[in-house]
Structure 1
């Protein structure tokens, strides 16, 4: 089979590899779609990975073989794959929070394309426990829900108690994950949603996805958001970029006892000063950086999609075009989410 692999830091190849055989508790998926993520760009420059590694951590596929001890699944079913594969037995995993598996207390919990062979291939193995039925969802366009839907849903759900009808949520970066964050906020809360981006076209799309306001990122973003919130600031800020300028916007507009949630991996930082306002963050503000989401979160994301409340903006590309798609993603030319189709 064909597999798009990272063979050394910065070097990728479309290679011929053997079709794997499912072991106990595993299923073999014929991949129908694999989403392409900015995290894949970060992996291109990683120095310590199990090379060669097949990329792709947004898998959707059709079950074609079952390993021993697999119950409740049948060949022919379409499924999406939960992307965090913890130990399955620790306290966190027992609650479905494999994204916080205690076997990896300070590091990255692995998953497909993130340590294990991923979905940028014709076939992939997955633990049966990680699968969620797709139902009548499109088996190609739904693939990005595995991360681009899961990650913002988890972040929003962690702040659910703050997201009341009188509150404001700011989404910084309305690309692959951010455009779904806007839709999720619209679907499960009645909060005012403010979209922030450098790209006017993405801001226009965000308004179409349900954002109440669209703010161009830059020097005037903070005063504009403060004016929109009557000086109170935003109860929840979701930063899907993670560079210092966007973090500065988030810190500048988060309200007292608000949540600044950083999901982008841009390598930026936000100053924290152990002193009272106006220096540093406002009283009670919380800064966090969640990872992925829980298995329950993925079920709830798919439920929203199945009810037509959220939909991924997708552009499809053949697996052989993976290098070109990654280059376009790095140049900021992908609208919504790119999906590779084997």
Structure 2
């Protein structure tokens, strides 16, 4: 039996630990084992360690964390025809059944019997990951797994929200993006690629605002306590048609709602706090509060087309797999520009 290194959750409110575990093998006919070329470190991983997902996921500890994965196909089950050994792939974060109503509609994110590697089963902070044929997307030769790994979840979530927002945005509209970090900087590029609207970016970090302006934002607002007024000034006092909130904590939700014009859409992507809006305000202004989970398999294929075209570039900081703790600490301290990637 061959073994591999894997970074595991051994307890909540405890540090991750490196372990030696068996290399996964294809057991089902549609299984695909991927040799990991890059695994993204996500704020959700911090939330997992805080125990925020314990009740939702019901996962048995210890298990391997990591849900943003890309690499090369290592082994396939007997019925797999869409990829073969050696193919360069990015991994959709969910393992889905393909048979339920949601899957049949292409809305596989809401699959009735899904598994979520890194959340409720073993993920990719490791040398190998087992997933399914339905979850792997072959990527363009010009793309490297470590450069696109975080597009599997951060990019896909940002794409899903931005594409949903873009459906209603016209050239006369404005969209405010809250947070230009790991997800936000991708959301900005997707909005730029899919929508003619003016993009206003709000972040408390001046460097993040600078990055946002360099990748397509029309206005940059440094969050210094006056950000709501600044956004209202940009819109002549009426507010923006759409807010896409990649923060979702620390007061961002109240600010996002306050920036919205009548009949506006407030897209929730980042999470952590409760949204507190008087129902009379929702009714009288007819605003919509829209939840956004990760995107579908088709969303991931669309995002990879944008990436291959150079319309979406991920800003990354790479860490060796052994340096997982440094990566987690850097993310926690807000010291990562773009996304942190573990490279086995």
| Alignment match, 2:180 | 174
Q: Distance in 2 between matches of 1:208 and 1:60?
A: 27
Aligned match for 1:140, one of 129, 146, 165: 146
Question: Which segments of structure 1 move beyond 4 Å, counting only runs of 4 or more?
Answer: 279-282
Q: How does 1:1-342 map to 2 (within 5 A)?
A: 1-11=4-14, 12-23=16-27, 24-46=29-51, 47=54, 48-103=58-113, 110-136=115-141, 137-266=143-272, 268-275=273-280, 279=281, 283-342=285-344
SS at the partner of 1:291? Answer: coil
Q: Distance in 1 between matches of 2:11 and 2:46?
A: 13
- The alpha-carbon deviation at position 281 of structure 1 amounts to 7.3
> Aligned pair in 2 of structure 1 residues 139, 274: CA closer, same or farther (>3 Å)?
closer
Q: Distance in 2 between matches of 1:65 and 1:274?
A: 53
CA contact (8 A) 2:96 2:135 kept: no
> Aligned pair in 2 of structure 1 residues 281, 321: CA closer, same or farther (>3 Å)?
farther
Query: Could you report, residue by residue, the CA deviation over 1:181-233 in whole angstroms, capped at 9, with x for unpaired residues?
Result: 11111111111111111111111111111111111124311111011011221
- The alpha-carbon deviation at position 88 of structure 1 amounts to 2.5
Q: Distance in 2 between matches of 1:89 and 1:114?
A: 22
Q: Distance in 1 between matches of 2:269 and 2:278?
A: 22
- Structure 1, 149-158 or 298-307: larger mean CA deviation: 149-158
CA contact (8 A) 1:150 1:298 kept: yes
> Aligned pair in 2 of structure 1 residues 140, 281: CA closer, same or farther (>3 Å)?
farther
Query: Could you report, residue by residue, the CA deviation over 1:14-57 in whole angstroms, capped at 9, with x for unpaired residues?
Result: 10001111122011111000011000000112244321111110
- The alpha-carbon deviation at position 159 of structure 1 amounts to 2.4
Q: Which runs of 5 or more residues in structure 1 are unaligned? A: 104-108
- The alpha-carbon deviation at position 280 of structure 1 amounts to 6.0
Q: Distance in 1 between matches of 2:307 and 2:19?
A: 34
Q: Distance in 2 between matches of 1:96 and 1:111?
A: 17
Q: TM-score, normalised on structure 1?
A: 0.94
SS at the partner of 2:145? Answer: coil
Q: Distance in 1 between matches of 2:169 and 2:323?
A: 41
Q: Distance in 1 between matches of 2:118 and 2:11?
A: 14
Q: Distance in 1 between matches of 2:190 and 2:284?
A: 27
Q: Distance in 2 between matches of 1:171 and 1:127?
A: 34
Q: Distance in 2 between matches of 1:117 and 1:102?
A: 19
- Structure 1, 90-99 or 186-195: larger mean CA deviation: 90-99
Q: Report the number of matched residues.
A: 333
SS at the partner of 2:254? Answer: helix
